[in-house]
Amino acid sequence: MLTLSVKEGKMPRVKYTVEQIITQLREAEVALSKGQTVVRVCWQLGITEQTY
């Protein structure tokens, strides 16, 4: 489950559960081990390189 947090004058932030974050990190590790680039993996996961 993800929730949105809205602060005055800012875009809403998405808060992921610990399980969702771990799942995405595992998916990233698998993709990287198959030779994909960090840029490609981040794009597929919908996150920035700085976040990864």
Q: Render pLDDT for 4-47 as a digit per residue (tens, 0 to 9).
A: 555 666 767 778 899 999 999 999 999 999 999 999 999 999 88
Bridge partners, residue 13, by sequence: 5
Structure-derived torsion over alpha carbons of residues 42, 48, 49, 52, reported in degrees to the nearest 10? -80
pLDDT at 5: 59
Contact of 38 with 32, CB cutoff 8 Å: yes
Q: Which residue has the tokens 């969702």?
A: 20
Contact of 30 with 40, CB cutoff 8 Å: no
Task: Please give the distance of CA 31 from its chain centroid, rounded to a whole number.
Answer: 14
Which amino acid is located at 46 in the chain?
G
Q: Which residue has the higher pLDDT, 23 or 52?
A: 23
Is the pTM above the cut of 0.75? no
